[in-house]
């Protein structure tokens, strides 16, 4: 079972919204694929809820990515800087 983060240090950072936009998947598409309510995807994207391990793995599988590419304990850098190794000036 996941939980509601109490502090910023407690939060799980993620790229769900970015990946969803990139793949053109709606919240409903993702929610149906991973077996949760569409509002739950909203709670996850807004950082109001940290997912359980099983839900995090299902979301990573939906995007066909390793779980560490979608979720992290530290703030995630923009995907563009990861791909091209450049940072914004």
Partner 1 sequence: MSAAAKTRPTDLAATFEDDRYSWTRRRSVRRAGVTGEAVLVGVLALAALAAGHGVLVGGVFAVVWVVGLVLFVPLHSVVNLGVRGLYDRREASLDEVQRTQRDRSATATHWPRLLLSLLAVLVAVQTATGADGAGAAAAAFSVGFVLWFASWLTSTWHLAWTLPEED
By the 8 A CB rule, do 2 and 14 touch? no
Among positions 25, 43, 65, 72, the unique one binding partner 1 when judged by CB under 8 A = 43
Question: Is residue 60 close enough to count as binding partner 1 by CB under 8 A?
Answer: no
C-alpha dist (Å) from residue 37 to 16, 25, 66, 73: 15, 15, 23, 24
For 7, the token pair is: 């502090």
Q: Which two tokens stand for residue 15?
A: 């790229």
For the CB of residue 80, give the shortest distance to partner 1 in the complex, in Å: 26
Convert residues 1-20 into a mask of x (bound to partner 1 by CB under 8 A) and - (unbound): xxxx----------------
When binding is defined by CB under 8 A, the residue of 23, 28, 37, 86 that contacts partner 1 is: 37
| Among residues 52, 66, 79, 82, the one that binds partner 1 under rule CB under 8 A | 52
Q: Write the binding mask 62 to 81 for partner 1: x where contact by CB under 8 A, - elsewhere.
A: --------------------
- Reference 74, options 20, 7, 12, 6; nearest CA is 12
Element (H, E) at 54: helix 53-62
């Amino acid at each position: 079972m996941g939980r509601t983060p109490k502090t910023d240090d407690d939060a799980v950072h993620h790229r769900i919204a970015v990946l969803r936009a990139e793949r053109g998947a709606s919240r409903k598409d993702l929610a149906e694929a991973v077996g949760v309510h569409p509002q739950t995807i909203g709670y996850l994207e807004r950082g109001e809820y940290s997912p359980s391990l099983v839900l995090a793995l299902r979301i990573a599988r939906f995007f066909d990515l390793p779980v560490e590419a979608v979720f992290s304990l530290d703030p995630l850098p923009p995907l563009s800087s990861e791909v091209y190794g450049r940072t914004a000036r």
